[in-house]
Amino acid sequence: MLKNLLKLFFPETCCGCNSLLLFNEVLICFKCRHDLPLTYHHEIPHNDTIKKFYGLIPLEFGLSMLYFHHGGIAQELIHNLKYRNQQNIGSLLGELYAKDLQNFEPIHTVTEIVPVPLHPKKLKERGYNQVDSFCESIGTHLQIPVNKNLLLRTQYNKTQTKKNREARQQLTRAIFDVNFSTKDENKHFLLVDDVITTGSTLEICAKALLKIPNAKVSILTIAYTQS
């Protein structure tokens, strides 16, 4: 009741297209929800996300939920999630994706979800890691614990969009490490990030996780973009 009254005086807008939300719409309007650029990667064994890592790291599976296009819904959603403290977007996307993944057998072999960490300085600036709400939501709906203490970011890296892949790899080589003990051995980790572009950050994180004896690693991102 109060919520509806508030909506009447302070109408909420869709996080995907900015149009006014109807009373029964939450965060995303029905049109945007219908138009979400889903990849259906979980139905494609050799999908674009896993192909990025062929010959680089052994993965159990790789998935991205959405295609990221310039000016598209995924870009708008991730922008709101990342810079406007709209963490509930991550929760909603996680809930929607967990439903799609229910019948994807390999997801049920995952023992822990591991978000790609932000550097502590960045975390302090932003106040939250933009992938955490997505991870928590996937974890809740698929009953998989989230482990935020395993991967550590040890060095601050500047935005590197203009550098080529090799230079970027050298820069980021040392910035992730794992803090593990014997209880972390023999697990299947699902490494999660917001957007995959070149895949170099995820590759370094995955390599760090693979230092753990008998670890298996898979990768999941909210969105996939062509590099």
Q: Dihedral, CA atoms, 121, 122, 123, 125, nearest 10 degrees? A: 90
> Between 72 and 106, whose beta carbon lies closer to Zn ion?
72
Alpha helices in the chain (DSSP H): 2-9, 30-35, 48-51, 73-83, 87-101, 120-126, 132-142, 165-172, 200-209
Applying CB under 5 A, the span of 30-38, 62-70, 79-87, 165-173 interacting with Zn ion comes to 30-38
Number of chain residues interacting with Zn ion (CB under 5 A):
5
Please report whether residue 17 would count as binding Zn ion according to CB under 5 A.
Answer: yes
Nearer CB in complex with Zn ion: 33/119: 33
CB of 92 to Zn ion, least distance (A): 13
Residue with tokens 């390599």: 207
Of 8-16, 47-55, 116-124, 151-159, the segment contacting Zn ion by CB under 5 A is 8-16
Spatial distance between the Cα atoms of 124 and 147, rounded to a whole number of angstroms? 19
Whether 28 contacts 14, CB under 8 Å: yes
Asked if 223 interacts with Zn ion (CB under 5 A), we say no
> Which is closer to Zn ion, CB of 29 or CB of 222?
29
Give the helix/strand (H/E) hosting 223: strand 216-224
* 14 near Zn ion, rule: CB under 5 A: yes
16: contact with Zn ion by CB under 5 A:
yes
**With respect to Zn ion, which residue has the nearer C-beta, 12 or 112?**
12
Q: List beta partners, residue 223.
A: 66, 195
Closest distance of CB 22 from Zn ion, Å: 11
Q: Which two tokens stand for residue 168?
A: 């970027």
Chain residues binding Zn ion by CB under 5 A are 14, 16-17, 29, 32
